[in-house]
Amino acid sequence: MSTPTYHDQDRAKILVTATLRVGEQLEAAALSFGERNPFTSKEDIARSHERCKEVSYEAFKIEHSPCRVLPDFREPANPSIPIDKLKKIHAKDLIVGKHHKGCYLKVRLVEMTMRIDLSIQSAFEDEQGSYGLVRFYYREEDTPPDEHLPYGYIVIIRDPFLWGSGQCDAFFVRVDHPHDVQYLYPWDDTSEKLIPSIWKTSYTLNMPQLEDLLKLADIYYHGGEYHAAIQRYNCAESKASKLDPKEPGLAKVLAEIYYGRAGVYVKLRQHLLARPDVDRILKSTPNCEVGLHLQSLRYYYTGKYELCQEAVNKALPMKEPSLFMSQDLFRRAKERHEEVKHGIYNWKGMRHKASGVYLDLDHADYTHPVKLKKTPKGRRVFTTRDIKRGDLLMAVKAIAIVPLEDNNCCLEVSCRDGTFDAEFGVGAHLTQEVIECLNKHPPDFYEKTICLMEDGGYTTCAYRLPDGTKVPDAFHIEEIRRRNCINISNLPLYNPHNSSYLQLGNMPLTRITTYHSGLWFLPSFLRHSCIPNAHRTVIGDMMIIRAGRDIPRDTKITIGTTTQSSWEYPLTKFVCTCPVHAYDVNVPNPPDIEQAIERAALWQEFTVHCHRLEQARKHPEKWVKLKIFDILPEMLTKLVSIQKLLPPPSELPQIQIAHRFRYIAGAYYGSGQRRHASCAYYKVLDCMGVEFYILEIADRVVFKKKGQSSEDLLHTYRDLAGLSTTPGIKRAWHNASVEMYEILYGERTSYSSVVQIIPFVEAKEPCLCVGIDNVMKTDISELKKKLGIDLAVETEWISTPDALAMTSIMNLGAQRSWIKTLEADITETKFGARGEGALGWIEEKATTRARRKLEEQKAESEKLLEGAREKEKGHPKDRAKENRKERDA
């Protein structure tokens, strides 16, 4: 018996519409599949270019999300094969839908580029005068399109692939891999030979001189176009190498080339590539201030912080502002060294920096307590020493991170097996960012990112560039992104209080919460468990993993990466196999089929109530009619019944129902029901394995066992502090919440500014669950059951002073309710079930009560008056003394 899942009708409608749209696109594109390129004239290409622009603008205006159609996965071209070994092909000879392996297309860009559907599009012409469109995918979105496909440039496209778009009736050459395109420059001796003679005179840059190249490179450098500057510096170095070494002024020209190119590489954070130029500068001028500063930066950004400090101290400049720059670099290098060696971070400063829009924090990785180890089930992260609760396990910087808002809904189609798969949140921006990082960083970064991570079920290419660098494979990165990307928030935690379900009004946060999607290297190997021994949080682009409990040496690290109930959200396509889910409703072959059926029925009833609350919360008119205090006791009863069918918390933490008890406790908290909220929160602590004693006389709380560290405990302690009435117990729960915050997030200074404190406001009306309407005709035992008192275990849990006090309160409430029940029975017997004549009887009772009160007041007044008279008369001896005093006076 399985629990019926909750289906989002809006999402289903969107998926159906998207699938139909994909089908229409593929059907339109398949009309010319396998035929020769039908559009090669200049007029046709111009119309298609404008049509693509209009369709893209209309789609973005209506849907606010781009759409892309991906063809079948294919391998990138091999850039190590010389051009003369490939077959030359022209635009009119291209076949729609065919991957022309072993061929190349030489074209000249004749149209200004623009961005369309996550790509950069431009028009081109070949040597025979045929025209076409080219789309360049997976390019950095922050840079102008002209940097990737500059107008007037000549490019060679290896293994061209012609694909059609059903949206705008256009056919374009699709380029997914960055190394499938080779640019030809007239100043480069190697590529100059490949430029056709008919295009040499019309080229944008017509064979500049050495001085002109240096000036142009400096202009690009100071203008922020670093890749274009590097190309000019390389060309200038090539020209200078052909000159006579004895040429006057050559050494100065070479020094300018090395200075400029090293500075560009430093700006691009490609410090290993800047090393040869820095070494040449220091070799020619050992005490060069600029060279030593560039060397210090290279040491800093390559993780050699001790060498960086030595380099700064070796040649500390005495001129401003270089003095302040070097002193700041020395301070940062010292801080990074402490982070790498000892894991000492300024958490408050990190959180302050990450509160803005800029996510790239200047901090180093710390991974000493853990190691990556191969197991029969794959690679896992294990501890290298004994870890204490709350210790830092790792702090890792993201390979790439993008705002989650950039992961707009888009469509991806795989035609390999003939089926269409429409999917949301493809994350092309994150894939694009990863590829840019791989292109910018040195080869060892590629090896670390690609070779050590899972291949994602896709066969990666073995092609390398002539310098030995592996070629980034866009589809391989896409599969890695799918399996390893993590969605996170810029806040250390964001867990709104459940009292919002009671329509108490919106409580604005003091900080704006934004969510991001990122890819981290070592955390990608952490496996999920509903009983994790570690906890993760993200500050900026740094992911911090902390121990949630004491962990012995050589123990696998696990974190909670999804909901605690695999049956509740089947749309995640994630099935947890940890011991917690051995008692789910969808487990095949359960050990006790009868208990499994009973659990499934209870879960189903509880889920129906949850859906009912969620639906009513979105519509105020339904919420007003909803009897919340009739639903919450039923939900609480279902959870208590489910709890009896699970192993005790001492054997296995009952994670799957702990946060549901907190759901109900939050509802009682928001409605002002102090006693019921406290009881529900105590249930949360019990499910999490927390053992404690509340000493009312000593006004404090004693913890015997801390239980499983989680955000559920953090918020439970916080709300229990709000419910407590005595200062000592309130302080104890508050300290427990702060301690849990420090365990989860490494510091406690930001607790008051991050954790949302909601003051408890007790309801003015009496608690309805012990009223006459809920009790009716019953005895004390049934009333205790309604109040949540289990008679079977009553003698076990009432041993604490707090439980005794709670039992006393419940018994008094039961007695008052029993008296009200008897009065109701007398009223019904005397005046009927509908209570005719009860009004007169109530008035008579009120009159009798008022007469009796007047008589009591009259008797009291007479008593007071008599006492005053006796005092006025006094004793004879006292009167004699007073008379003597008067005579003496």
What DSSP assignment string belongs to 462-506? --B-TTSPBPPPHHHHHHHHHHH-EEEESSS-----GGGGGT---
Going by pLDDT thresholds of 50, 70 and 90, the confidence category of residue 552 is: very high
pLDDT at 119: 77
- Assess whether pLDDT exceeds 60 at residue 617: yes
User: What rounded mean pLDDT belongs to the chain?
Assistant: 69
Q: Residue 263 and residue 265: Cα distance in Å, rounded? A: 5
Residue showing tokens 């020619």: 284
Between the CA of residue 174 and those of 28, 122, 414, 492, 779, what are the distances in Å? Answer: 17, 11, 15, 42, 79
List, in order, residues 6 or more apart from 630 with CB less than 8 Å away: none
- Label residues 427-437 b or e (16+ Cβ within 10 Å = b): bbbbbbbbbbb
Instruction: Give me the residues paired with residue 538 across strands.
Output: 543
Q: Taking a C-beta distance cutoff of 8 angstroms, is the pair 576, 569 a contact?
A: no
Q: Hey, which bits of 343-496 come out as E strands?
A: 370-375, 378-383, 392-397, 400-403, 486-489
Helix (H) or strand (E) holding 182: strand 181-184
Rg (CA), the chain: 38
Q: Which amino acid is at 736?
A: A
Query: Which of 98-107, 344-353, 561-570 has the lowest average pLDDT?
Result: 561-570
Helix (H) or strand (E) holding 109: strand 103-109
List, in order, residues 6 or more apart from 28 with CB less than 8 Å away: 164, 166, 167, 169
Q: Residue 109 and residue 118: Cα distance in Å, rounded? A: 19
Chain-centroid distance of CA 688 in Å reads 24
pLDDT at 840: 54
Q: Residue 6 and residue 766: Cα distance in Å, rounded? A: 35
Helix (H) or strand (E) holding 133: strand 131-137
Q: What's the CA angle centered on 886, arms 884 and 889, to 5 degrees?
A: 110
CATH, domain range 1-185? 2.40.50.140
Tokens of 52: 């693509």
- DSSP conformational letter for 560: -
List, in order, residues 6 or more apart from 296 with CB less than 8 Å away: 308, 311, 312, 326, 329
Query: Pick the residue with more confidence: 259 or 869?
Result: 259
Q: What's the CA angle centered on 328, arms 325 and 334, to 5 degrees?
A: 140
Residue showing tokens 């289903």: 12
- DSSP conformational letter for 448: I
Query: Which of 16-30, 138-152, 746-760 has the lowest average pLDDT?
Result: 16-30
Q: Residue 574 and residue 566: Cα distance in Å, rounded? A: 7
Residue showing tokens 């791989």: 438
Q: What's the CA angle centered on 166, arms 161 and 172, to 5 degrees?
A: 30
Q: Taking a C-beta distance cutoff of 8 angstroms, is the pair 100, 160 a contact?
A: yes
Q: Taking a C-beta distance cutoff of 8 angstroms, is the pair 546, 746 a contact?
A: yes
- Label residues 643-662 b or e (16+ Cβ within 10 Å = b): beebeebeebbbbbbbbbbb
Going by pLDDT thresholds of 50, 70 and 90, the confidence category of residue 431 is: low
Q: What is residue 826's three-state secondary structure?
A: helix
Between strands 558-559 and 527-528, the pairing is: parallel
Between strands 103-109 and 87-88, the pairing is: parallel
Query: Which of 268-277, 298-307, 616-625 has the lowest average pLDDT?
Result: 616-625
- DSSP conformational letter for 366: B
The two counts, helices (H) then strands (E), for the chain are 29, 21
What DSSP assignment string belongs to 725-763? -SHHHHHHHHHHHHHHHHHHHS-STTHHHHS--------
- Assess whether pLDDT exceeds 60 at residue 830: no
pLDDT at 756: 75
Residue % of the chain over a pLDDT of 90: 1
Tokens of 36: 């020769």
pTM: 0.56
Which pLDDT tens digit goes with each residue over 731-744? 889 999 888 888 88
Between the CA of residue 809 and those of 725, 803, 804, 805, what are the distances in Å? Answer: 15, 10, 9, 6
Where residue 627 falls (left for φ over 0; alpha for ψ -120 to 50; beta otherwise) is beta
* Residue boundaries of the structural domains of the chain: 1-185, 649-763, 780-831, 838-888
pLDDT at 592: 65
pLDDT at 459: 45
Q: Which amino acid is at 280?
A: R
- Assess whether pLDDT exceeds 80 at residue 173: yes
Q: Residue 145 and residue 113: Cα distance in Å, rounded? A: 6
The CA dihedral of 826, 829, 830, 832, to the nearest 10 degrees, is 130
Going by pLDDT thresholds of 50, 70 and 90, the confidence category of residue 467 is: very low
- Assess whether pLDDT exceeds 70 at residue 35: yes
Q: Residue 450 and residue 394: Cα distance in Å, rounded? A: 21
Query: Which of 77-91, 174-188, 839-853 has the lowest average pLDDT?
Result: 839-853
In terms of residues, how long is the chain?
889
Q: Residue 719 and residue 711: Cα distance in Å, rounded? A: 12
Q: Cβ atoms within 10 A of the Cβ of 284, count?
A: 13
Q: Residue 54 and residue 165: Cα distance in Å, rounded? A: 14
Q: Residue 515 and residue 530: Cα distance in Å, rounded? A: 23
Nearest residue to 157 (alpha-carbon basis) of 179, 127, 172: 179
Q: Which amino acid is at 706?
A: K
Tokens of 440: 């910018």
**CA quadruple 198, 200, 201, 202: dihedral sign:** positive
Query: Pick the residue with more confidence: 629 or 721?
Result: 721
- Assess whether pLDDT exceeds 70 at residue 388: yes
Q: Taking a C-beta distance cutoff of 8 angstroms, is the pair 386, 369 a contact?
A: no
In 3-state terms the chain splits into helix, strand, coil percentages (rounded to 5) of 50, 15, 35
pLDDT at 548: 83
Q: Residue 109 and residue 124: Cα distance in Å, rounded? A: 4
Between the CA of residue 609 and those of 4, 660, 682, what are the distances in Å? Answer: 13, 12, 22
Q: Taking a C-beta distance cutoff of 8 angstroms, is the pair 90, 107 a contact?
A: no
Q: Residue 5 and residue 416: Cα distance in Å, rounded? A: 31
Rounded mean pLDDT, 742-770: 73
Q: Which amino acid is at 81?
A: I
- Label residues 208-224 b or e (16+ Cβ within 10 Å = b): bebeebbebbeebbeee
Query: Which of 314-323, 448-457, 596-605, 704-713 has the lowest average pLDDT?
Result: 448-457
Going by pLDDT thresholds of 50, 70 and 90, the confidence category of residue 382 is: very high
Q: Residue 72 and residue 237: Cα distance in Å, rounded? A: 42
Q: What is residue 696's three-state secondary structure?
A: coil
Tokens of 264: 């560009």
pLDDT at 227: 78
Nearest residue to 196 (alpha-carbon basis) of 321, 106, 280: 106
Query: Which of 396-410, 546-560, 600-614, 824-838 has the lowest average pLDDT?
Result: 824-838
Q: Taking a C-beta distance cutoff of 8 angstroms, is the pair 687, 643 a contact?
A: yes
pLDDT at 865: 72
**CA quadruple 89, 95, 96, 101: dihedral sign:** negative
pLDDT at 406: 43
Instruction: Give me the residues paired with residue 119 across strands.
Output: 116, 137
Between strands 131-137 and 170-175, the pairing is: parallel
Going by pLDDT thresholds of 50, 70 and 90, the confidence category of residue 686 is: confident
Chain-centroid distance of CA 72 in Å reads 31
